[in-house]
Copies of this chain bind each other. A is one copy, B any other.
Amino acid sequence: MANELNTRSQQILEAIIEEHIATAQPVGSRAITARLAVRLSPATVRNVMAELEEQGYLCSPHTSSGRIPTEQGYRFYVDTLLRVSGIGRRQKDRIETEYQWKGLQMSELLRAASKALSSMSSYTGLVMLPRLQKTIFRHIEFVKLSSSKVLVVFVTQSGLVQNKLIEIDEDLTAAELEQITNYLNRTMAGLSIQAMQNQLLSKMAREKALYDRLLQRAMRLSSAAFAGDPEGDVIIEGTSLFLEQPEFCDMERMKRIFRAFERKSVLFELLDRGVQGSGVQIIIGSETEHSEIAGCSLIAASYSSRSGSLGSLGIIGPSRMPYAKVVPIVDYTATLVSRLLDNDSD
């Protein structure tokens, strides 16, 4: 099978996909002739469509209805036909002015980003919280709440604030806590949480009978503080927009999707894939490898701060999605978030 598509086939495929994106209906040969720059008869278009179906780019829901793109079709479209322009000035302005970005804590900033993604794109916005493990330690503080409870607050380089309640079995004076605080802040600043944990553990192992009682306590306290990094969280906004999509009028499918949203782990895993890569990543349909969200696509881009890549954000919607419109939104939001986090981290 000659898998090369000539220019005309590509143009027709593009027209079909864009028409389908616009109408959500199977598209017939006639509609394409109207869309195409060159003048072609429906019959010719039909011949090409038959080829495209042969080659797996299209399929028809039943004999004699129009064609709809397959996943392979979308993939080809996204990879080679899609021309992504930069984001428009007006959209850029809208993102920047419609949301309050300044003076937010990281978690609020990320929520605002998710909302912005959703409302700008009319799809569901997703932002994964940074994996704590990978973030850079900046500051720790212990707040004694009672004789057996201590609140640990730590702040990462990029401004993520995490707090955790830990139980202690021995009473510590405020002065001792302060000493421990100072020790940790002095020795651990600049390390990633992961490196810090490793260091703490190895120190504890190495110096089992730790001569310095205070140090010993510091070790124990802080390793308790960092134990159990909560599994990745995802901020989801605009789920109701999913219900707007005509292709999800099937309640059963809708239920599966919403259940996946609730569990979040699926979405986290998908977004996590986008963290490494640069630029906008597009995952189409079964490429997600999760049948719950069959027929959905995810557009993701990673955001970072000076200290490196932190996580990724994006949107999820039906595979029939106006990629040309949506990709710049995701792209710009990611860079905006990165920029804001950089500003915040000093």
Given contacts A153-B143, A165-B103, are A237 and B262 in contact (CB under 8 A)?
Answer: yes
Tell me if A255 counts as interface (CB < 8 A to partner B).
yes
Among A138, A145, A255, A346, the most chain B Cβ lie within 10 Å of the Cβ of A145
Contact partner of A155 (CB less than 8 A), chosen from B143, B243, B259, is: B143
How far, in whole Å, are A143 and B164 apart by their CA atoms in the complex?
16
Contacts of A104 in B (CB 8 A): 165
How far, in whole Å, are A238 and B249 apart by their CA atoms in the complex?
20
Contacts of A328 in B (CB 8 A): none
Given contacts A153-B153, A161-B163, A165-B105, are A262 and B243 in contact (CB under 8 A)?
Answer: no
Tell me if A159 counts as interface (CB < 8 A to partner B).
yes
CB <8 Å contact, B254 and A239: no
How far, in whole Å, are A312 and B243 apart by their CA atoms in the complex?
29
CB <8 Å contact, B155 and A151: yes
Among A103, A243, A261, the most chain B Cβ lie within 10 Å of the Cβ of A243
Q: How far is the CB of A163 from chain B (nearest CB, A)?
A: 5
CB <8 Å contact, A163 and B165: no
As a 0/1 sequence over residues 124 to 139 of chain A, the CB contacts with chain B under 8 angstroms (1 = contact) are 0000000000000011
Closest to A248 in B: B251
Contacts of A255 in B (CB 8 A): 240, 243-244
Question: Which residues of A130-172 are within 8 A (CB) of B?
Answer: 138-139, 141, 143, 145-146, 151, 153, 155, 159, 161, 163-165, 167
How far, in whole Å, are A115 and B146 apart by their CA atoms in the complex?
29
- Copies of this chain: 2
CB <8 Å contact, B141 and A141: yes
Contacts of A141 in B (CB 8 A): 141, 143, 153
Contacts of A151 in B (CB 8 A): 153, 155, 161
CB <8 Å contact, B153 and A145: no
Tell me if A332 counts as interface (CB < 8 A to partner B).
no
CB <8 Å contact, B164 and A105: yes
How far, in whole Å, are A208 and B176 apart by their CA atoms in the complex?
38
As a 0/1 sequence over residues 249 to 270 of chain A, the CB contacts with chain B under 8 angstroms (1 = contact) are 1010011001101100000000
How far, in whole Å, are A141 and B103 apart by their CA atoms in the complex?
19
CB <8 Å contact, A262 and B238: yes
CB <8 Å contact, B239 and A243: no
Contacts of A254 in B (CB 8 A): 243
Closest to A244 in B: B255
How far, in whole Å, are A153 and B153 apart by their CA atoms in the complex?
8
How far, in whole Å, are A303 and B105 apart by their CA atoms in the complex?
29
Closest to A115 in B: B262
Q: How far is the CB of A125 from chain B (nearest CB, A)?
A: 11
Contacts of A262 in B (CB 8 A): 237-240
How far, in whole Å, are A254 and B346 apart by their CA atoms in the complex?
45
How far, in whole Å, are A116 and B249 apart by their CA atoms in the complex?
29
How far, in whole Å, are A255 and B240 apart by their CA atoms in the complex?
6
CB <8 Å contact, A258 and B243: yes
Contact partner of A105 (CB less than 8 A), chosen from B161, B163, B238, is: B163
How far, in whole Å, are A167 and B243 apart by their CA atoms in the complex?
41
Closest to A236 in B: B262
- Please list 16 pairs of residues, one from A and one from B, whose beta carbons are closer than 8 Å in the complex, sorted by A's number: A103-B165, A105-B163, A105-B164, A143-B155, A145-B155, A146-B346, A151-B153, A151-B155, A151-B161, A153-B161, A237-B262, A239-B258, A240-B255, A243-B251, A243-B255, A244-B255
